[in-house]
Amino acid sequence: MPPRPPLLRVPYTDPLPPPKIIPTSASTPSGAIAALVDFLSPSLPLSTHRAARPSQHAGKTLLLTGAGISVASGLADYRGTKGTYTLNKTYRPIYFNEFCENHEARKRYWARSFLGWTTLDKAKPNRAHEACGELGRMGVVGRLITQNVDSFHPTAHPHLPTTELHGYLRSLTCLTCHNEYPRRAFQAQLSALNPAWSAFLAEMLASGALDTENPVERRNRGLKSNPDGDVDIPGAPYTTFRYPACPVCLETPPRRADGSVVRVETDYDGAWDPASEGGVLKPAVIMFGESIPSATKTAAEDAVDAAGRLLVVGSSLATYSAWRLVKRAKERGLPIGVLNVGGVRGEEVFFGDVGEGNTGREAVRCSESAERVLPEVVRVLGEVGGRGR
């Protein structure tokens, strides 16, 4: 049965209007650094020689990050000048109902993800991620919320409490038993089940086609890379792709509420069989059309409510799950800052009431690279803290 057409649409796939820089002096990298230092300075502890305890988040700055912060790590963003929706107008992500209900849709998803995973797995956090961690160590930042699924934040700064709003690609979760399974182990199984695809992947890796960070070069070679670790190869026979079943469900078949057993079957090689009634592994990310878990949603809202100010880094806030958090912060009277190259959804809501005399303390809006700016902000704040405020 073909997948049902989705009722949802991907928000804001066209470029957003250019931002109004606040303050006007923040239109250069040095000006942006100065404005961000002014914005973050109120969160400096009275004594930077004694770091605040990890439990003391109240009044500190909350960071909210998006795909833009990982561009310097070699991953594409979504809506930037070289982003997925900008370069590939036909791209559409898989929807939650498609993945859950349609075996053919899952084949296509896992085939594309199989090719893209190596690039994501090899990528590392960049200087902007490290700067976020340094801001945490300095006591300026108390918590971080990220929309990214690349796991760079918890890798770069495990000491800084981080809420992964949209999940993470490092693990899978079973739709039946809800146990998690490591993505790297799953990749090895995909390789064993799909030798032709594995050979193609090896060829692409040997040629360097998956190593280049230039999306134009990738495009010329027939590769289109997306931020979720997914490479699109036109004409690839997705229908031949196979994927494994949940190992927990295979070992201990789950039971329904009435006591009946959920049938989970595989073929002779261990690939999930369409005759199965469960045991489907799904990436541990929030897909379009899927609800954010209530615990994650509450953690994000609590982080906003406990913060003294909020700084958005590398996000156009196109998804409502992120935009509403900034709106919540604004409604609570928190100063709002945005460091993002290009426009942001509905930013007039956040900056419409900013006075002319603002130097960055009340609000800041910069359109600069986070990797270029944030490390310098950390350096200057360290000097400011060393002198005392």
Active site residue 166: yes
> Are 369 and 341 contacting, i.e. CB atoms less than 8 angstroms apart?
yes
3-state percent breakdown (helix, strand, coil) of the chain, nearest 5: 40, 15, 45
Annotate 24-40 with b (16+ C-beta within 10 A) or e (fewer): eebeeeebbbbbbbbbb
Residues contacting 107, CB < 8 A, separation 6+: 238, 239, 241, 242, 243
Type of residue found at 287: M
> Are 241 and 267 contacting, i.e. CB atoms less than 8 angstroms apart?
no
Catalytic residue, chosen from 129, 153, 157, 166, is: 166
Spatial distance between the Cα atoms of 361 and 336, rounded to a whole number of angstroms: 9
Spatial distance between the Cα atoms of 246 and 306, rounded to a whole number of angstroms: 39
For 256, counting Cβ atoms within 10 Å of its Cβ (0-12 exposed, 13-18 middle, 19+ buried), the class is exposed
- Alpha helices, H only, the chain: 29-40, 84-87, 96-101, 103-122, 127-137, 152-156, 183-193, 195-207, 215-220, 247-251, 294-306, 320-331, 348-351, 370-387
Which tokens is 314 given?
A: 């590398």
Residues designated catalytic: 166
